[in-house]
Amino acid sequence: MTAATGGAAEEEVQIPYEKFVLDNGLTLIVHEDRKAPIVAFNIWYHVGSKNEQAGKTGFAHLFEHLMFNGSENYDDDWFKVLNRIGGTGVNGTTSFDRTNYFQNVPTTALDTVLWLESDRMGHLLGAIDQERLDEQRGVVQNEKRQSENQPYGRVWSRMFKDLFPDGHPYQWLPIGSMEDLEAASLEDVQNWFRTYYGPDNAVIVIAGDIDAATAYSKVQQYFGSIPAGPPLAKPQRWIPKRSGTQRAVMQDRVPQARLYKVWVMPEWGSDDAAYLDLASSVLGSGKNSRLYERLVYRDQIATDVSAFAYPLEIAGLFALSVTAQPGQDLDEIERIVDEELQKFLDKGPTKAELQRVKTSVRAGFIRGVERVGGFGGKSDVLAEGEVYGGSPDFYRKELARFEAASADQIRDAARRWLTDGQYILEVTPFPQFAAAGADVDRSALPEPASFPSVDFPEFERARLDNGMEVVVVSRGAIPVVGFTMLLDAGYAADQAGTMGTSSLAMSVLDEGTRKRSALEISEQLALLGASIGSGSNLDNSSVSLNALKENLDESMEIYADVILNPEFPEAEFERLRKLQLAAIQREKVTPMSMALRVLPGLLYGSDHAYSLPFSGSGTEASVMSLTRDDLVSYHDTWFKPNNATMVVVGDTTLAEVMPKLERYFGAWEPGPVPQKNIATVSQSNGG
C-alpha cells in the first residue's frame, strides 16, 4: 500500500484528500466533509467506448447495464437494496474514456455499498447468463431508439463517424450500433469484464462523513482480496489531420433547421483545450456571447446558439451550432458565423470578455464542489483528475491555467484549430407531403445497524414592513448565496387573462429595466460571477439570483432592479414571443410534450385554472394576441411584496441579509392581489 496527501492552503476552494494505492493496484481517494451524515461513493473504471473495436461497439455501455442486475452473492436488482438503505443519486454512466458508478448513502450504510461494489468487481461473472444478457441488450437497444427518435437525435453519431477516420476509437458513440449489440455474445461480455474490471484499472473516491483511516480500512477489507487484472496498453494521443471543408446534410423530424460547424481539437488536460474552452464561451455561451448577440438579438434570424469545447482523452472536438428561426436561410446564418469567427481569429477576446468567461469558469467550479457527489461534485472532480490527469488535484492546474490565460493565447489556439479542416452539417426538417481468497463473509449482506438522524438547518423567518416574507437558511461551506423570490401567480393566473401570459412575462422580465438593457444586465452579471433566472410553474412565478458572497451587494442591486423596474422592451417582447411560438411548434412534434398539452384539460375540465397546456406556453393564437401591455399588467397585478416570499440559502444569516433586503426592497409598495380561481375538480373529470 502507498499513500499520498493533497491540499493547498492558497486555494480559495480546497478539496483536501488522502490517496492510497492497495497492493492489488486499486486507487482510493478520501475527502472528509462532515456537513451531513452521508458519504458519496464514486468508482471510475478507466474503460469506455474507445476501448472497443469496430464490429464490437456498445460493449462498455451494455456492460454498465449488466452491473446493476446482481452479482454472485447478491443476485438481485441493485436499486432495490440502495432504496432500502436510503441511497440517493444512484446511477452509472459510460463515456468514450471511462465508466463510472456512484451513489450517496447514509454513513452507516457505507459497509453495505462497499460489500455490493466489491462483489460486482470481484464476483460478477457467475451472475451473468444468456437470459440476463438478452434482457439488458433489449433495454440498451430501446434506449438507443429513444435517443435517436428525439429531434436532432442522430446528429452526434453522424458527426463522430464523419470527423474521425476508420480505425479511430472515437468514430462511434458509447451507445454502439444495433448490429453490434445484437451480435454480442456471452463470451464477449465475460472477456470484457476480465480485461477491464480489475481493481488496478479502477479509482474509488469516498467523500463525506468519514475519515481517511476508516475509509482505507473498510476498502482494504472488502476489496483487498480481489486479484488485479491483466496489464493494459493505454491508447495514445491521436488527433486526426484534417484539411479543407467537409459538408454533409441530413433530414430529421425537427421544426427548425440547424447548422453545425465542427473541428477536431486537442485532448483533455492540454493548454489548447483550456484556451478553446474559453474561446467557446466568448463565441457562443450565454446571451452576451458574440454569436448569440448577433444572430438572436440583433439580426433575429436564430432562436438558439451554442458553442463548446469537448476534449476527450486522446482527441476532442470543438462545435458551434445555430438553430434557425423558421423560414430563415442557413447559408446566411453560416455567412454571419464565419464573419464573427474571423473577427475573433483576427483580434481574440476583449478584456471584458476574458474577465467574464474566467469568472464564469471559476463560479461554475465553486458551485459544483458545494456537493460531495454528483456530476461536478467533489468526488467527481477528484476521480476525473486521478483517472485522466494522474493526480486528484489536477483541478488546481486546470483552474490556474484558465486564470492565467491571455487574450493572445486564446486567439492563437483558435487560429491553430478553428481554421482548416472544418466539418459543416446542416440538419433540415423533412419536407411536408400529402400522405396517402481471505474474503469477507459473502453468505450474508451486512445491513446497516442504524440510520443516522439528520439535523436540517434551522429556518430563520422575518417580514419586511411592506409584507414581504423572508426565509433564510444558512450554509457557510461555500462562498455563494442564492435568492429565490416566489410569487403566488404562475400559469394558473392566466385563467383570468390570456394563456401564455405568465410564461412570456417571466421570459421578458430580465430583458431590460428602466436603466439597463438586456445585454448590459447579462454583461454586468457575468463580471460579478452571478446569474439571474425567472420563470413560472402552475402555481408560482419566481425570480432567482445566485451570487458570489464577495459580490453580493452589487448582484442584489441588479436583482432588485430586474424585479421592481422591468421595462418589457417592445423589441425583446417581439423576439421572445417568436421563441415561445417556436417552442409551441416543438411541443407539437415531441411525443411527451404533445401529451402534456392535451392531458390537463382532460384531467381538470376546461373551466379549471390548470386546464391549459402543462408547459404554460399557451397556444399560437393566444400568444399572437398578447401585447406588451399585457405583460406590464401581469407585473403590476402580481408583483407585490405582500404576495412575495424571499427564500435565501447560502453563506449568510438573517441578521446579515435583512438590512440588504430592506435597502433594495423596503420601498416596494404593497397592494391588493386578486385571488386565483382554483375550481373544484369534478368527479367525472378527475376519475
Tens of pLDDT, residue by residue over 173-230, are 999 999 999 999 999 999 999 999 999 999 999 999 999 999 999 999 999 999 999 9
* Calpha distance 132→186 (Å, rounded): 10
* Calpha distance 466→613 (Å, rounded): 35
Q: What is the pLDDT of residues 236-264, one digit of tens each?
A: 999 999 999 999 999 998 989 999 999 99
Return the C-alpha cell found at 378.
467533489
pLDDT (mean) for 269-294: 97
Q: What is the pLDDT of residues 134-155, one digit of tens each?
A: 999 999 999 999 988 888 999 9
* Calpha distance 25→196 (Å, rounded): 13
Task: Locate the DSSP E strands across 395-468.
Answer: 422-429, 460-463
Residue 686: predicted pLDDT: 41
* Calpha distance 191→16 (Å, rounded): 37
Return the C-alpha cell found at 500.
401564455
* Calpha distance 626→502 (Å, rounded): 11
Q: C-alpha distances in angstroms, 312 versus 5, 196, 267, 537?
A: 27, 19, 5, 38
Structural domains in the chain plus CATH codes: 2-223 (3.30.830.10), 245-371+380-429 (3.30.830.10), 460-686 (3.30.830.10)
The DSSP result for 563-596, as a single string, is HH-B---HHHHHHHHHHHHHHHHHHTTSHHHHHH
pLDDT (mean) for 385-405: 96
Chain-centroid distance of CA 510 in Å reads 22
The whole-model pTM stands at: 0.87
Would the pLDDT of 11 be above 50?
Answer: no
Task: Locate the DSSP E strands across 325-467.
Answer: 422-429, 460-463
Would the pLDDT of 548 be above 70?
Answer: yes
Residue 260: predicted pLDDT: 98
* Calpha distance 358→364 (Å, rounded): 10
Helices in 127-268 by DSSP H: which ranges?
Answer: 130-148, 155-163, 178-183, 186-196, 212-223
In 3-state terms, what secondary structure has residue 397?
Answer: helix
Residue with cell 438572436: 296
- Residues 102, 43 contacting (CB under 8 angstroms): yes
Closest CA to 586 of 346, 299, 304, 222: 304
Chain-centroid distance of CA 469 in Å reads 31
Would the pLDDT of 610 be above 50?
Answer: yes
* Calpha distance 64→135 (Å, rounded): 13
